[in-house]
Structure 1
Amino acid sequence: MTRVMSWGEWFAHDGTALAELVRKGEVTAEELASQAAEAIVAVNPKISGVVELFDDAVADATVNGAAPDGPFAGLPFLLKDLGPTLAGRLQEQGSLFFKGHRSTSDSFLVTKMKAAGLNIIGRTTTPEFGCCSSAENPALYVTRNPWNTEYTSCGSSAGSSVMVGAGVLPIAHGTDGGGSIRIPAGCCGAIGLKSSRGTFSIAPYGSDFTSVVSTQGCISRTVRDTAAFVDACRGGAPGEFMPYCRPDLPFTEMIARDPAPLKIAVSHEWGPYAATPHIAAELARVAAFFESLGHHVEWVVPKVDLERAYAAQTTCYITNFAQTVNNLLRSKGVSEPPPDLIEPMNIRIWEQGKDASYTERADMQAVFNETARAFGAFYEEWDILLTPTTARETPRIGTTEYLTLSDNPSALDWFGNLWGFFAYTPLSNLCGTPGMSLPLAVHENGLPLGMQIHTRQGNDGLLVQLAAQVERAIAGKWTLGALPEVHVTKLG
């Protein structure tokens, strides 16, 4: 393996900066991939974030089709082992049941990634089918938080978050169906944007019309890398059910200037859920910081029937994941989930959701509509909503109540417990609105704590613009300038 710079220099360069080195001819894309691979080999035994490293893509940055003239110029990149498919590569979805499954074609988003010049060099860990707060099944892998390996990374974009958090790569792929980009990014000290519905395509296997709540995106260390990823990879495939609109200006241009003074509402008491006292205090500190940037900040709870919204979200998840399992069973000609190959809670979700009626889904959609309209009215008055990313402290490894290894007999109760932890992320999936987790705070135990900014549907550019203002104000020192215990700068 070839190392072209020190680990301190590696971490000091984000993806945009590394791509610029390639364009200038100072390094090659293969040299960057080799150094990234060295970092993966060094840290993966400690945090288990990468399922597979593609040695051929490390040796040749074009082997997976990355365009050398794309904006990322062959930058090494990791793909979550769930969602978009890469032709000829395994995609096992964190499941023993799907072990050995090889994709036969590229999904539309992967073609966009390739055109952007992203060299996909491996795939990252995820809980089974993405239905869990942590990639933590000892039969497969246990993904650990680089800040303290006794704690989880959360999920479901677990592996991507720990690899970015550990400085291995500046940017990696994630998916978000209820917080799965924002939550692990917040837990691992990274930036996570869940984009508006209608930003990234999930063609050809599904659409925003069929998926309802899930979207794609990235986890990064800098706002400009996130902006560049969205600019390059957004857009719909032919035949999409809804329009895929572009902003008037690329995000990479928008972030060069601060937003005008904004009206920012702050809250953490959402229906039956509220943050712990320490998280609430960190929220107040961050709110005061936003006020110091010249924004009007006020504590306001959105006028939304939150209990009905969470109940509808639960219906959505049980019925969606039940059909995910159903479709996988059909693909293998199996009528029931094998208990030795599919995790217990995913089996219970299948049992409790597979026969849901159209009436149940119609009732769910009616509440989705009410909730989206209520938040829409809220964003007519407020530019930004500021909340924590999570309401509770990051769990230790082995906290089974949040895992699909749980023995909880009720999927309804299991999801209700999840919402108590992830109270502030799922409703933006319900509404199709954007949310962005920024590593601005810490838990009492010193682990990172994300703070989340939300806004109206389609206004993602304002989030990245505000995030860029914050990044400049703190001189790029996210997580209060601290580094995790497992980090590339601590390698020999």
Structure 2
Amino acid sequence: MPLPLPEYDDLDATGLAALARRGDVSAAELADAALARAEARDLGAFAHLDPAAAVRRRAEAAPPGPFQGVPFAVKDLVHPVAGMPMREGSDALRHHVPTTDATLVQRYRAAGLVLLGKTTTPEFGLMGVTEPEAYGPTRNPWAPDRTPGGSSGGAAAAVAARVLPAADASDGGGSIRIPSGYSGLFGLKPSRGRVPDGPTVGEVWHGANASLPVTRTVRDAAAFLDAVAGPSPGDPVALPRPARPFADAVGEDPGRLRVGFSVRSPLGTDVDPACVEAVEDAAALLAELGHDVEEAAPEVDGRALARSYFMMYFGQVAASVRRAEAIAPGARRRVEPVTRLLAEVGERVSAAEYAASLDGWNVYARAVGRFHERYDLYLTPTTAVLAPHVGAQAPTATERLLAGAAARARAGRLLLKSGFVEQLVIERLADTPFTQLANLAGLPAMSVPLTQTAPLPGAPRGLPVGVQFVGRPASEAGLLRLAAQLEAARPWADRRPALVG
């Protein structure tokens, strides 16, 4: 059966909003088009969808705004939506329903977006794939036997499958850029303090986390940044709104940029040749466009950075489990075994160790600052691998048993000192070693979908390959200028997976 509004698949959020403003289509018709595609292209992208009647009523009442009437969904993590379940990928929070909106959700509503529901995430957003044990895996539209990444995997799958033109995402260690890279989308992680996380929290993960929707086009990302950026009361770090809209940067000349690039994993682990080729291709394209490009990287100890990241990560997992326990007593027993183990490790980290790991963030930020004295941008692969197969990162039966036993025995301190847990997490990080630097340094960074592989088994149109650019603090406008130039030179928005047609 044909899906309603065939033109829906072709238009980004800005284009759909223009249709609605002209009266060519109603917000309710757009909502029906999105819901029909959510059913027809089921990839496990949604943790919750409101009933169609409720979505239509919301569409009819959408206020004027830059995205009036555009269907949208919020990631099931970080930002509560009043009246919608907030499970965070965990069985422990299966029945949790917040009663108030996050500040960012309020800004989405004020922009005229019509909220359909919540998109999927791994438990507490802790993985670079979206395969929560309680709810099943989310699949990549380009190859359903592969992951769209995480933790914003549901958002990326929904947008890549053209169920939604854009979807809320957040990034504490790569969770906007990783799924964008795997799914052929444009993903911009803003600077620390650019987009608020209030009112119930100040900074998520000490400011390592930043939020902005994943999109298919650069102009949509710029328009979303204009709609949601800016301080809110009580923000511990807040960047002021710029004098000019971010949308004005799209199409402006980025000037002659100095770009340093590297294809070497900061962990010393392998990088897939396709990811290397994507960066080399991007470097050649940049040179053709008149930019100065050479091989260079910040002087950062990648393994030290990974240790700092995971010391924070362990503590935050422990805090997440405690918070879940406060919401739903008994939650600790219902979280996944590896989550329970990581929480146990986090409970055994001393305050001195945690504080020392946070001090390391300044070391990395200053190293990148010295790099940016010479180079405007740092170019790397977004990920070190193509989108992995579903289940490739799932813990083995032995790991699950060990994790459960260690958590019950409260052996977190022993495991931490033995190096077992550090080795486990670095093995998991080997697929995505390039993204955490921007998080700890608070820098804006983007994944750009410049290339695709040749067709692979299960992926008749090839797999997307993203490249990452890291900019100076508060340089989102400059990133958008370059992204728009790259988009014009190598258009990607019309590429679509076979699932879409």
User: Normalising to structure 2: TM-score of the pair?
Assistant: 0.90
State the partner residue of 1:302. Answer: 298
| Counterpart AA for 1:145 | N
State the partner residue of 1:431. Answer: 441
State the partner residue of 2:92. Answer: 97
Secondary structure of the residue aligned to 2:380 is strand
Superimposed CA distance per residue, residues 289-343 of structure 1 (whole angstroms, 9 cap, x where no aligned partner): 1111111111112112222111111111111111111121123344x721xx211
Contact 2:80 2:101 in 1 (8 A): yes
Structure-to-structure mapping, 1:225-264, within 5 angstroms: 225-264=220-259
User: Deviation of residue 98 (structure 1)?
Assistant: 0.4
User: Deviation of residue 58 (structure 1)?
Assistant: 2.6
User: Deviation of residue 180 (structure 1)?
Assistant: 0.7
Pick closer, same or farther for the CA change 1:150–1:333 going to 2, 3 Å. Answer: closer
In structure 2, the gaps of 5 or more residues are: 404-419, 457-461
Distance 2:228 2:396 in 1: 32
Secondary structure of the residue aligned to 2:58 is coil
Q: Name which of 32, 35, 42 aligns with 1:34.
A: 32
User: Deviation of residue 12 (structure 1)?
Assistant: 2.0
State the partner residue of 1:5. Answer: 5
Distance 1:128 1:209 in 2: 16
Structure-to-structure mapping, 1:265-344, within 5 angstroms: 265-273=260-268, 274-334=270-330, 337-338=332-333, 341-344=334-337
User: Deviation of residue 5 (structure 1)?
Assistant: 2.6
1:174 maps onto 2:169 in alignment: yes
User: Deviation of residue 138 (structure 1)?
Assistant: 5.0
State the partner residue of 2:377. Answer: 384
Contact 2:449 2:492 in 1 (8 A): no
State the partner residue of 1:43. Answer: 41
| Counterpart AA for 2:355 | A
Distance 1:210 1:370 in 2: 18
| Counterpart AA for 2:354 | R
| Counterpart AA for 1:439 | P
Contact 1:132 1:404 in 2 (8 A): no
Deviates more, 1:69-78 or 1:241-250: 241-250
State the partner residue of 2:417. Answer: none
1:450 maps onto 2:466 in alignment: yes
User: Deviation of residue 283 (structure 1)?
Assistant: 1.4
Secondary structure of the residue aligned to 2:212 is strand
Secondary structure of the residue aligned to 2:264 is coil
| Counterpart AA for 1:298 | E
1:367 maps onto 2:382 in alignment: no
1:196 maps onto 2:191 in alignment: yes
Deviates more, 1:238-247 or 1:51-60: 51-60
State the partner residue of 2:146. Answer: 151
User: Deviation of residue 356 (structure 1)?
Assistant: 2.1
Contact 1:136 1:403 in 2 (8 A): no
Distance 1:103 1:25 in 2: 34
| Counterpart AA for 1:288 | A
Secondary structure of the residue aligned to 1:279 is helix
Structure-to-structure mapping, 1:114-153, within 5 angstroms: 114-137=109-132, 139-153=134-148
Contact 1:318 1:411 in 2 (8 A): no
| Counterpart AA for 1:455 | G
Pick closer, same or farther for the CA change 1:484–1:209 going to 2, 3 Å. Answer: closer
TM-align CA RMSD: 2.1
Superimposed CA distance per residue, residues 345-385 of structure 1 (whole angstroms, 9 cap, x where no aligned partner): 11011100023222112211221111111111111211111
Deviates more, 1:129-138 or 1:104-113: 129-138
Superimposed CA distance per residue, residues 372-415 of structure 1 (whole angstroms, 9 cap, x where no aligned partner): 11111111211111111101232111113579995375432232
| Counterpart AA for 2:342 | I
| Counterpart AA for 2:113 | L
Structure-to-structure mapping, 1:213-228, within 5 angstroms: 213-228=208-223
| Counterpart AA for 2:346 | G
Distance 1:459 1:403 in 2: 42
User: Normalising to structure 1: TM-score of the pair?
Assistant: 0.92
1:160 maps onto 2:126 in alignment: no
Secondary structure of the residue aligned to 1:52 is strand
User: Deviation of residue 61 (structure 1)?
Assistant: 3.1
Distance 2:216 2:3 in 1: 21
Deviates more, 1:25-34 or 1:278-287: 278-287
Secondary structure of the residue aligned to 1:301 is coil
Superimposed CA distance per residue, residues 163-184 of structure 1 (whole angstroms, 9 cap, x where no aligned partner): 1111111110111110111101
Q: Name which of 53, 56, 61 aligns with 1:59.
A: 56
Contact 1:191 1:438 in 2 (8 A): yes
User: Deviation of residue 120 (structure 1)?
Assistant: 0.7
Secondary structure of the residue aligned to 1:316 is helix
Contact 1:134 1:158 in 2 (8 A): yes
Distance 1:206 1:265 in 2: 36
Contact 1:90 1:100 in 2 (8 A): yes
Segments of 4+ moved more than 6 angstroms: 402-405
User: Deviation of residue 3 (structure 1)?
Assistant: 6.3
Contact 2:190 2:211 in 1 (8 A): yes
| Counterpart AA for 1:128 | E
Q: Name which of 477, 482, 497 aligns with 1:461.
A: 477
Secondary structure of the residue aligned to 1:294 is coil
1:106 maps onto 2:114 in alignment: no
User: Deviation of residue 209 (structure 1)?
Assistant: 7.3
Contact 1:191 1:219 in 2 (8 A): yes
Distance 1:272 1:164 in 2: 31
State the partner residue of 1:440. Answer: 450
Deviates more, 1:399-408 or 1:200-209: 399-408
Distance 1:357 1:302 in 2: 30
Contact 1:29 1:74 in 2 (8 A): yes
Distance 1:105 1:373 in 2: 38
Q: Name which of 466, 488, 493 aligns with 1:472.
A: 488
Pick closer, same or farther for the CA change 1:465–1:403 going to 2, 3 Å. Answer: farther
